[in-house]
A and B are shown apart, each in its own frame.
Chain A
Amino acid sequence: MTSTIKTEPFVINIGPQHPSTHGVFRIKATVDGERVIDAEMVMGYLHRSMEKLAEERTYTQNIPFTDRTDYLSSMSNNLGYCLAVEKLAGIGVPDRGNAIRVIMAEFQRLASHCMAVGAFTNDTGAWQTPVMWAFREREKILDLFEMTCGARLTCNYMRIGGVAFDLPKEFMPGARKLVQSLPGFIDEMEGLLVENEIFLVRTRKVGVLSPEMAINASLSGPVLRGCGVAWDIRKADPYCGYEQYDFDIPIGYQGDSFDRFIVRLEEMRQSVRIIEQALDALPGGPHSTQVPLALRPPRGEAYGRVEGPRGELGYYIVSDEGPSPYRFHIRPPSFINLSALKEMTVGGSVADAVVVLGSIDIVVGEIDR
C-alpha cells in the first residue's frame, strides 16, 4: 500500500481583474494543484440594463445602444437591430443600402476577428506580437469606418431603412487597397502561428467540444463551426442579399481551440472574398429609404438575426404601436457560447482554461448588456 501526498482542492478566482478575462468576467475555478475540477462563471459586473433602457427610447434612438453591447462589432449589432425593426415595420431597403451594409458588416467581421485571433494568441503566451500585428490591420479597417461615419469603435452607422450616409468618394480606393493587402496579413499570421509547434501543443485537444453538445447548448459562430457543424446565418437564412455572393463556410475537425482559431482565419479570407464581390457589384441609387423619425410599427413582434463575428446575433422586439419598443431582447452570441465553458475547462489545467476562454472570444459588454 503506497501512501500518497494528500492534496486539498482550493478555489481561485480567475477574474474579475485578470489579464486574460477580456473584461470584467470571473471564473470561480476549483483547482486540485494545477487541474481544474470545477468551474463556475460569475458575470454581471458590466450590467447596464440596456434591454430595459431601450423600452424608454424611440426605435431610432436605440441604434447607438446596440453599439455598446458588443463594442468590437458595432456595425453587426446595428445591422441586426435594424433588420429586426424593418421586419417589424415592413420597411424595404434599397439595393445600394444593402450592399453597403454587407461591406461594412464584413469589414467589421474582419476587424473583430483580428482582435479575436490576436487576443487568443496572447492567451497562449505569445507576448503581444500577434496582437500588435492584428491591431495594425484592424486600425486600417477602423480608418475606413472613420472615413465613412466619423466613428471608429461605436459607429452608429446603420439606420432603419438603410445606412446613415452614402460612401465618401475616397472610400472605394481605400477599401480596394485594403482588400488587396489583407490576404497577405492572414498568410503572415498563419505562418507565424499555425506551423508553430508550441502553439499547436497548447491549443490542440484543448477545450474539445462535441458537435452534439455544441448544438444542444445552442452555440453559434466559429465555436459551433469549429466542431464541424456547417451553420451560418448568411447561408441558412440570408439577409441583405448575401445569397448573391459566392463564399464558403469554414468548419473545423474536432472542435478544439485550434479548430476555432483556424476557422476564424479562414472566415477572414471568406470575408475578403465577399467584400471584393460587393465592391465590384456596388449598385447606384439611394442608400436609404425615408423612414419617419417617430416610427410606430404595427402591433406585433419580430426577431431579426445576423451572423455576427461571434455567432448568431438576434434582436427580438415587441411593438404595441407606441414610439418605443414594448419589449426589447438581445440574443448575445458570447453569452450563449459561454454556457459550454464548464464542459470545456473542467479536466484541463489553469493554463488551458485561459486558452479556452480566449478561443470562445467573449466580449463582456455583450454578456452583461
Chain B
Amino acid sequence: MPLPILATNNWYDFRDLSNFSRLILENLDKILPHGIVYVVAVLLGFVASFLIFVLPSQLIVGVYGERKLIGRIQSRYGPNRVGPFGLLQPIADAVKLMQKESLMPLRGDVIVMNIAPLIFVAPCVLLFAVIPFGPRMIIGNIPSALIYFIAVSGLPVLAAFMAGWGSDNKYSLFGAMRIVAMSISYEVPLVLALLGVVLFTGTLSLQGMVFWQRDLNIWIAFAQPLSFAIYFIAVGAELNRTPTDIAEAESEIVAGYLTEYSGMKWGLFYGMDIGYALAASAFAATVFLGGWSFFGLDKWVPPWLIIVTKTQLFYMIFIWTRGTLPRLRVDQLMAFAWKFMLPIAIANLFVLATERMMWVRAFDADLKFVWVFVPINLLFTAGVVFAWARFLGYRPENTPRKARLVNQAGGFIPLGGAKGETRP
C-alpha cells in the first residue's frame, strides 16, 4: 500500500523523521548481531521522541508559555528576566531546583517517599510510545494502543498516593485520598466516552483512528461532540487542572501530596505534571482532532508539526481555564462525576451504539454515511448542554446577585423589604 503522503524515503526528507532513524537502524543491523537492533530502535525512538517533542514543548510551552500566558491573563508580564524575553526561565528554574536541598520529614517513610517521583516519571515517558507523530513515525504501533494508554495513564495516581502516604503529613494524606477518589470517579466516564470513539472507528489503534478521520475528512470531535466534552472534563480532573485541582488545592491543603517534597524530587512531580498534560493533549489531538492529518494539509506540512501544534493548542485551553476559573469542592466534584457525567456518558454510548447499528444495518456500513450522524450528535449535545443549564445543573436560589440597598441605618431587614429599600 503506498503511503498517502508526499514524503519520500530519502533520509534528508524532514517531512518524515523516521527516514533518518531507519537509515541508522539499517546500517546498524549490518554490523550488530541479529536482534540487537530492535532494542536499539526502541531506545532510539524513546530518546528521539522525548528530545524532539516532549522536552522542548514541555520547557517552552509547558513552563514558559504557561507562565507567560497566565501572566498576561493576570495583567502582568510573566517571566522576562532570564535570556531573551525570559525564554531561559525554565532552565533557570531547573538549575535552581537541582541545587535545592531535598528535605525529608523526620517520620516519613523514606523508601516510599523516594520511589514515588520515579514511579511518577516513568509512565509519562511510556505514554508517548503510542502517539503517532506521522504515518510512519510511531514507536509502538500496537493494535490495542487505546487500552495501553488508559492503563498507563492510571499509574501516576499510585505514585501520588505513595507520595501522600510516605510524607507523614496530614495535608499530604488529604491530597492523596482526594486524588485517588477523584481518578476512580472520573476514569469511568472517560473510558465510556472513548468507547464511543471505538464504536465509530472500529479500531483500538491510535494510528487507525487517525487514518479513519483522515479518510473521511472529519474529526471525531465533530462527529461525537459529547464524547469530546466528557473526555475534556474528565481528563482535566485526572490531570489535576483547575477547576478540578482539588488534590493540590493550594488555598485549602497547601500543596496536597507535594507538601513535603522539595528540590528536584518536587521538580520531577512538577515537570511530569506538565508532561502528563501534554500526553493527554496529544492523545486528545490524536483521537478527537485528527492527529497528524489536517484536511489534506499534511501532504505539504510535516505531519509531526501538525500534531505538535494541535497538542499545544489543546494545552492552551488548560492554561486558560487555570487562569480563569475557581475550584470546585471535592464532594461537588464527586457528585458531578457520578450523578451527571456517568449517566450522560452512558446515554451518549447508547446513542452512538444505536447509530452504529443503523449504520451497519441500513447503510451497509458505508463509511460515507457518517455525515448523517453528525447533525444528530450535535443536536444531542446541544440538548444535553441546554438541559444542564436549565434543569440538571446547579440552580441558584432566586435571590438576586446584587446586594439590596437601604438608605437608613436600622436593625434586621427581612426579605421582602422595608421602608427605604431599593432593589437594584
Residue numbers of A with Cβ under 8 A of B are 10, 12, 18-20, 34, 121-129, 131-133, 136, 192-202, 204, 211-212, 215, 225, 227-232, 235-236, 248-254, 259, 262-263, 265-266, 349-352, 354
Residues on A with C-beta less than 8 A from B327 are: 124-126, 198, 202, 351
B105 to chain A, nearest CB (A): 15
User: Which residues on A sit within 8 Å (CB–CB) of B70?
Assistant: 127-128
For the complex, is B323 an interface residue (Cβ under 8 Å from A)? yes
Chain A residue contacts of B401, Cβ below 8 A: 194-195, 262
- Within the complex, the shortest CB–CB distance from A265 to chain B, in Å, comes to 7
CB pair A227–B412 under 8 Å, yes or no, is yes
Docked Cα-Cα span, A34 to B403, in Å, equals 31
A126/B326 in contact, CB under 8 A: yes
Which B residues are CB-close (under 8 A) to A248?
Answer: 405-407, 422
Complex Cα spacing A197 to B415, Å: 23
Assuming A124-B251, A252-B404, what are 15 further A-B pairs, CB within 8 angstroms?
A34-B174, A124-B326, A125-B326, A126-B325, A128-B70, A128-B74, A132-B75, A199-B326, A202-B327, A202-B329, A212-B412, A227-B412, A231-B409, A251-B406, A263-B403
A197-B394, A250-B403, A251-B403 as given contacts; A232 in contact with B409, CB under 8 Å: yes
Contact with A along B400-421 (1 / 0, CB 8 A): 0111111111111111000000
Q: Hey, which chain B residues are within 8 Å of A259, CB to CB?
A: 403
A253 partner residues in chain B, CB cutoff 8 A: 399, 404, 415
Contacts of B245 in A (CB 8 A): 125
B237 to nearest A CB, angstroms?
A: 13
Once A124-B326, A248-B405 are accepted as A-B contacts, the answer to whether A34 and B331 lie under 8 Å apart by CB is yes
- Chain B residue with the shortest CB-CB distance to A349: B329
Assess whether A136 is in contact with B329, with CB atoms less than 8 Å apart.
no
Looking at the assembled complex, report how far the CB atom of B9 sits from the nearest CB atom of chain A, in whole angstroms.
49
Closest CB pairs A-B (n = 4): A125-B327, A250-B403, A132-B74, A235-B409
Write the residues of chain B forming the contact surface with A, with a CB cutoff of 8 angstroms.
70, 73-76, 170-171, 174, 242-243, 245-246, 249-254, 322-332, 393-394, 396-397, 399, 401-415, 422
Q: Specify which of A126, A131, A250 is in contact with B405 (CB 8 Å cutoff).
A: A250
**Complexed CA–CA distance, A20 and B250 (Å):** 8
Chain B residue at minimal CB-CB distance from A358: B251
- Please give, as numbers and ranges, the residues of chain A lying within 8 Å of B329 by CB-CB distance: 201-202, 349, 351-352
CA distance A121 to B408 in the complex (A): 30
Tell me, in angstroms, the Cα distance from A350 to B328 when the chains sit together. 13
Residues of A within 8 A of B422 (CB): 248
Instruction: State in angstroms the CA–CA spacing of A200 and B422 once bound together.
Output: 23
**Structural contact, A201 and B251, CB atoms closer than 8 A:** no
Taking CB atoms, residues of chain B closer than 8 Å to A235 are 408-409
A204 proximity list for chain B (CB < 8 A):
396-397
Complex Cα distance A363/B422, Å?
Answer: 32
User: B403 to A266, Cβ gap below 8 A?
Assistant: yes
Query: Cβ of A249 and Cβ of B242 under 8 Å apart?
Result: no
- Point out the residues of chain B lying under 8 angstroms from A351, CB to CB: 246, 249, 252, 327, 329-330
Q: Which residues of B contact A201 (CB under 8 A)?
A: 328-329, 332, 394
> Is B408's CB under 8 angstroms from A230's CB?
yes
What residues on A are CB-neighbors of B75 within 8 Å?
132-133, 136
B171 touches A12 (CB 8 A): yes
Contacts of B393 in A (CB 8 A): 197
Whether B326 lies near A350 (C-beta < 8 A) is no
B413's contact among A136, A199, A229, A349, by CB below 8 Å, is which? A229
Give every chain A residue within 8 A of B404 (Cβ-Cβ): 228, 250-253
- Chain B residues lying within 8 Å of A228, measured Cβ to Cβ, are 404, 412-415
Q: Is B403 in contact with A350, judged by CB distance below 8 angstroms?
A: no
In the bound complex, residues from chain A placing their C-beta under 8 Å from that of B412 are: 211-212, 215, 227-229
| A-B residue pairs in contact (CB < 8 Å), sample of 19 | A19-B254, A123-B251, A127-B242, A196-B326, A197-B393, A198-B243, A198-B326, A201-B332, A202-B328, A227-B412, A230-B413, A231-B410, A235-B409, A249-B407, A252-B403, A252-B404, A265-B403, A349-B329, A352-B329
Find out whether the CB atom of A121 lies under 8 angstroms from the CB atom of B413: no
Question: In the assembled complex, which residues on chain B have CB atoms less than 8 Å from the CB atom of A128?
Answer: 70, 74
Q: Please report the C-alpha to C-alpha distance between residue A85 and residue B326 in the assembled complex, in whole angstroms.
A: 45
Q: Using Cβ atoms and an 8 Å threshold, which residues of chain B touch A227?
A: 412
Closest to B415 in A: A253
Q: Are B250 and A129 in contact (CB under 8 A)?
A: no
By a CB distance below 8 angstroms, the chain A residues around B414 are 228
Measured between C-beta atoms, what is the minimum distance from A244 to chain B in Å? Answer: 14
